[in-house]
Amino acid sequence: MADNPKNISSKGLLKSPELYEYLLETSVYPHEQQPLKELRNVTASHPHALMATAPDAGQLIAMLLKLINAKKTIEIGVFTGYSLLLTALTIPDDGRITAIDPNRASYNIGLPIIKKAGVEHKINFIESEALPVLDKLLEDDLNHETYDFAFVDADKLNYLKYHEKLLKLLKIGGIVVYDNTLWGGTVAMPEESVAEAMKVGRDCTIEFNKLIAADTRIQISQVPAGDGITICKRLC
Ligand code: SAM
Ligand code: CA
């Protein structure tokens, strides 16, 4: 069961699993829509279940989507589709999500639930690495400055490249959210105490966080929800 705190505790960055469980049980799960619960539970048995967007981060993303009345969005990194379904359930019926991931098999796990929820028509799933898709979108001037929102939850090595391209695609005032920007808390740990498997991601994330914090084209807020998310609003 994904609701079991023993399974979700490693996602939260709060000081105890009990505190994270409290937050989820009190404020997140009571408002989580049924299809999202279903998708979370289906994903819980996947060997890479921890890749799914944390429900508390998802709740914040849904609020942002509503606050800016997002209609046209991009998602980089779909996996089984938790954040994608969340976006599709939140934007209006004529909204559109360009969802990019080279792994269609993972997307297919969540697709029946997305279909059942009646929101598949809002999704244009593109089975590809994200960079060539973003480049293709940028070739057409008509796509520039037209997107309201983007969510990036994919290969950390490319976050800075995504950032440059997304800033051209986003409207002024549009928002891009980056996931995993605290990388399991390792960004603040001495290098020698970081597990080998986490090191590359940690180094990229530290570099990304530094550059994004110095980027005057955006307003940012880094929030310790899930594994850390950084919200960036395009200013100019
Ligand atoms: N947001 C998803 C969710 O809510 O379940 C989780 C995404 S998971 C952490 C990362 C995903 O990024 C994987 O499905 C992986 O296939 C995808 N990915 C890896 N490299 C990519 C790339 N170059 N372009 C787009 N997606 C990529
Ligand atoms: Ca993630």
Cβ(58) – ligand 1 distance below 6 Å: no
* Confidence at 8, pLDDT banded by 50, 70, 90: very low
Cβ–ligand 1 contact at 77 (below 6 Å): yes
Residues 6+ apart with CB under 8 A from 8: 2, 20, 21, 24, 54, 55
Task: Judge residue 14's burial from the number of C-beta atoms within 10 Å of its C-beta, 0-12 exposed, 13-18 middle, 19 or more buried.
Answer: middle
Quick check: CB of 32 below 6 Å from ligand 1?
no
Q: What is the pairing mode between strands 229-234 and 218-223?
A: antiparallel
Report the Cα 133 to chain-centroid distance in Å.
18
Tell whether ipTM is more than 0.95. Answer: yes
Taking the CA of 181 as reference, the closest ligand is 2
Question: Does 134 sit in the ligand 1 pocket, CB within 6 Å?
Answer: no
What tens digit of pLDDT does each residue of 186-225 get? Answer: 999 999 999 999 999 999 999 999 999 999 999 999 999 9
Is the distance from the beta carbon of residue 155 to the nearest atom of ligand 1 less than 6 Å? yes
- Which CATH number covers residue 20? 3.40.50.150
Angle at 92 between CA 90 and CA 94, to 5 degrees: 135
Name the pTM for this structure. 0.95
Mean pLDDT of 139-147: 98
Helices (H), ranges, 44-101: 55-67, 82-90
Structure tokens at 57: 């981060």
78 lines ligand 1 (CB under 6 A): yes
Element of type H or E holding 177: strand 170-179
Between helix 34-43 and helix 82-90 the angle, nearest 10°, is 170
Antiparallel, parallel or unpaired: β 72-76 and 147-152: parallel
Residue 135 lies in domain: 5-234
pLDDT in tens, 108-124: 999 999 999 999 999 99
The total of structural domains in the chain comes to: 1
Atom of ligand 1 lying closest to residue 43 CA: 5
- State the distance from the centre of ligand 2 to the C-alpha of 178, rounded, in angstroms: 9
Atom nearest to 100 CA in ligand 1: 25
